[in-house]
Amino acid sequence: MKPIPVGARGSHALHVESRHLASTFKDSILPPVFSTPYLVLILENAALNAIKQYLEPGESAVGTRVDVRHLVATPAGRDVVGHAEVTAVDGRKVSFRVWATDGEEEIGAGMHERTVVSMTRLMERMRAKYGPPPP
């Protein structure tokens, strides 16, 4: 892993479609608004995009903590953008401030942590614990 600077930023955009709505994705009793799991997805992708350029070949960064408030209901048809800014780096652990907007206002905000991992070591540990992956 190359040094990751505090202040590095990334983003990830998503056009909200019916499949992203709580009423479709989770339970039909819920309102037809952008679901929290998809909010977390765009924030995690924004964080990964903030540090991708600092990862060495064979490395990735896995999410290890998410603390997000979903602030505003967003309907289908809106473009949502997740943003992430590195706030701290402690060895392989990277902390982020994360927030999302829908073109008009902030719809979510919080913090996120990722840990830089060796994909080879991760897969070896998975095989040792669970056996070989299914074909």
pLDDT in tens, 79-93: 999 999 999 999 999
Give the chain as a 3 state SS string. Answer: CCCCCCCCEEEEEEECCHHHEHHHHCCCCCCCCECHHHHHHHHHHHHHHHHHHHCCCCEEEEEEEEEEEECCCCCCCCEEEEEEEEEEEECCEEEEEEEEECCCCEEEEEEEEEEEEEHHHHHHHHHHHHCCCCC
What are the catalytic residues?
Answer: 36, 44, 70
Domains for the chain: give ranges and CATH numbers.
9-130 (3.10.129.10)
pTM of the model: 0.92
Give pLDDT tens digits for 90-124: 999 999 999 999 988 999 999 999 999 999 999 99
